[in-house]
Every structure is written in structure tokens, then in C-alpha cells.
């Protein structure tokens, strides 16, 4: 099977949908002729022109809320924030308009807007270009939150996201943009709410989010040499969350470690922990552990940045510690 990078796969998904549906248009800084800072729209401007690949001034609240209005009036906008860090400028309207309009109108107005941007710390991008923040959106009723890791997932999920009538956060960790993997030629979609078991095992369950999946897979191979069989689960979508797959795994292994670059308090791991304790209490052989990035803004200097992020060594040690419990 042919292999694509994450970026190519996501772009192919977007291109396929744009070809089918003329109401889809992309809005963002540099998404026009330039093709997007992260090559999200390369080649599309030549096909569809400025009306559907719309360059914007730096006005995230402005164009995000504008797209909210466009979505409820019958179009399917894609808001390309480049960095999620920029997109949170629109937070007020995202909560009050984007997330609430479907409910307030009793379902008569739909909100088919895709909100995408890069997340995560990489290469000393530092405090204002390294955020994750997805729990903010997990928390507000009305949003779907998608965090793919593989090219296969990127394409299948972006198509589902574009076709969804809900507002969807499509968050792409910069560390996975260069992930390469098999992508079928034939069209396929991945539904929301289906986690992927990326490595099967019996001794411990590791739920990893975004770039942490890359690390967790390395760790699972390393641990196999130590005689530890780890099951690695990539939730792929945080809302809706496939808690059943995680519960089945915990039923098997009895031990759960959640690895998430984002901050621990009220994070995705906290939510998963609460649900697992609620429904699989008697399956637990040890406390549930979370390994998160440190609760600080993202540092610039390399040793500082490295110190705040989970890495394969710390993940492996966390697994060993958990097995001791």
C-alpha cells in the first residue's frame, strides 16, 4: 500500500471533500496561494480560488465567529488557525455561539464548522506556540474533539469531521506531521468514538494522546524485551471518547497509565480516570496513574523544554513503577 505523511493524508481528505461539496471553504492566515503554513491547503487555491481558500488578516475571533455565522447559514467552513494557540482568541464566541447555537435553536440550526490547528511542544516554539488545551473543548458541551496520530487516521477522521454537522476541533500535534504510514487509495471514513489498539498486550494498559502515541509504541517494544507486555491505546477522538475499548483493556490488564503532554489538572487523563474508576473499579489491581507534561508554560531552552515533557524513558519508568504497585 502507498505511504503518505500525516500532512499529505489530511490534505487529501480535505481535497476530496472540497471536490464533492462546493459549500466547503477554508479560512485562515496563509491558506490561499501560499498553501498554508503547515501545507494544509497546498495546491487547492489553484483549483478553487480565493472564495474557497480565503486568506485572512490576523483576526482569529473575527474570522472564527464569521465562520460560525457562515456554518449556520448553510456552508461548511474550515477554520485553519495554524496554531491552536491563536485560535483560543475566539474562545468567547466559541463557547457562546459555536458550541451553543445548535442547542439553543433546538437543532434547527446546524454548526458544521471544522476548527483545525497545530498543537504541542516541539523545537523550542515556546510559550505561545506549543499549547495543547484540548480539555477546554472537551469540557464544553457541543464540541467534538479529534486528535489523530497516523496518516490513516488523519484522512479518515478529517473526512468524518468535515461531514459532521457538529463543530469539530481537529488538532494536529506538530510531532506527528511527519509520521508516515499506509493510506488506502479507496475512499474510507473513520467514525468518531473508535479508539485504536496500536499495540496489544496483557500486563498494562497505556492510553496515549497525540504525539505520545509515538513514544508509547517505542516504549512498548522496549518493555517487551524486559518481559512486560503493554497494550497501547490511541483514543483518536477525545469527544466522543471510546471508553469501552479502554475498559476492556483494563479488564484484561488491571493497570492503567495515561500519557498526555497536556497539563494534568482537569485533563483528558483525569476524565478517563474518573470514568474507569466508575465502571471498572473491580478490575483495578493498582491505582490509575497519569504521566503529563509539567504544569508550566512551554519553555524555550532545550533542557527546560525536554524536562517538562514526557519522553520514552520517563514513560517506561512510569510503567515499571505501576507494575510494582
- Burial status of residue 50 (CB atoms within 10 A of its CB: 0-12, 13-18, 19 or more): exposed
By C-alpha distance, which of 230, 232, 175 is closest to 7? 175
Q: Minimum Å distance from CB 234 to another protein?
A: 20
Nearer CB in complex with another protein: 110/218: 110
Grid cell 495515561 — which residue? Answer: 258
What is the distance between the alpha carbons of residues 24 and 21, in angstroms, rounded to a whole number?
6
Which 265-324 positions form the footprint of another protein (CB under 8 A)?
265, 269-270, 281-287, 289-292, 294-295, 302-303, 306-311, 313-314, 317-318, 321, 324
Task: Pick the closest to residue 45 from 30, 60, 62 (CA basis).
Answer: 30
128 as an active site residue: the answer is no
Binding span for another protein by CB under 8 A among 3-11, 100-108, 145-153, 216-224: 100-108
| 209 Rama sector, left if φ>0, alpha if ψ -120 to 50, beta otherwise | beta
Among 53, 125, 158, 217, binds another protein (CB under 8 A): 125
- Distance between CA 203 and CA 293 in Å, rounded? 24
Per-residue x/- mask for another protein, residues 134 to 163, rule CB under 8 A? Answer: -------xx-x-------------------
| Catalytic residue status for 248 | no
Q: Which of residues 181-220 bind another protein (CB under 8 A)?
A: none
**Comparison of 110 and 186: residue with beta carbon closer to another protein:** 110
Indicate the residue among 1 and 107 with the shorter CB distance to another protein. Answer: 107
State the catalytic residue, choosing from 17, 29, 129, 248: 129
Q: From residue 241 to residue 270, what is the string marking binding to another protein with x (rule CB under 8 A)? A: -------------x--------xxx---xx
- Does 240 sit behind a cis peptide bond, omega within 30 degrees of 0 on the bond before it? yes
Applying CB under 8 A, among 8, 153, 166, 248 the residue interacting with another protein is 166
CA dihedral 9, 14, 16, 20 (to 10 degrees): 170
Which residues are marked as active site? 60, 129
Amino acid at each position: 500500500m502507498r505511504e503518505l505523511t500525516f500532512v499529505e493524508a489530511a490534505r487529501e481528505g480535505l481535497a476530496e471533500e472540497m471536490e464533492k461539496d462546493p459549500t466547503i471553504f477554508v479560512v485562515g492566515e496563509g491558506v490561499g496561494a501560499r498553501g498554508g503554513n503547515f501545507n494544509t491547503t497546498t495546491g487547492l487555491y489553484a483549483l478553487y480560488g480565493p472564495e474557497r481558500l480565503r486568506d485572512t488578516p490576523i483576526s482569529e475571533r473575527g474570522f472564527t465567529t464569521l465562520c460560525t455565522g457562515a456554518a449556520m447559514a448553510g456552508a461548511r467552513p474550515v477554520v485553519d488557525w495554524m496554531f491552536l494557540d491563536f485560535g483560543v482568541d475566539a474562545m468567547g464566541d466559541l463557547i457562546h455561539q459555536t458550541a451553543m447555537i445548535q442547542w439553543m435553536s433546538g437543532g434547527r440550526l446546524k454548526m458544521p464548522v471544522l476548527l483545525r490547528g497545530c498543537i504541542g511542544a516541539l523545537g523550542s516554539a515556546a510559550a505561545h506556540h506549543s499549547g495543547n488545551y484540548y480539555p477546554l473543548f472537551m469540557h464544553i458541551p457541543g464540541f467534538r474533539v479529534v486528535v489523530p496520530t497516523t496518516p490513516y487516521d488523519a484522512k479518515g477522521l478529517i473526512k468524518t469531521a468535515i461531514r459532521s454537522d457538529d463543530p469539530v476541533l481537529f488538532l494536529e500535534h506538530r510531532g506527528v506531521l511527519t509520521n508516515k504510514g499506509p493510506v488506502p487509495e479507496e475512499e474510507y471514513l473513520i467514525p468518531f468514538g473508535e479508539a485504536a489498539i496500536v499495540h496489544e498486550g496483557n500486563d498494562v494498559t497505556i492510553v496515549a494522546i497525540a504525539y505520545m502515541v509515538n513514544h508509547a509504541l517505542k516504549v512498548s517494544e522496549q518493555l517487551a524485551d524486559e518481559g512486560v507486555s503493554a497494550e497501547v491505546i490511541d483514543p483518536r477522538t477525545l469527544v466522543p471518547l471510546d471508553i469501552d475499548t479502554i475498559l476492556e483493556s483494563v479488564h484484561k490488564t488491571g493497570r492503567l497509565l495515561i500519557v498526555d503532554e497536556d497539563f494534568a489538572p482537569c485533563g483528558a487523563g483525569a476524565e478517563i480516570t474518573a470514568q474507569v474508576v466508575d465502571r471498572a473499579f473491580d478490575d483495578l489491581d493498582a491505582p490509575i496513574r497519569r504521566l503529563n507534561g509539567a504544569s508550566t508554560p512551554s519553555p524555550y531552552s532545550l533542557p527546560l523544554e525536554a524536562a517538562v515533557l514526557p519522553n520514552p524513558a520517563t514513560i517506561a519508568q512510569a510503567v515499571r513503577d505501576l507494575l510494582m504497585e
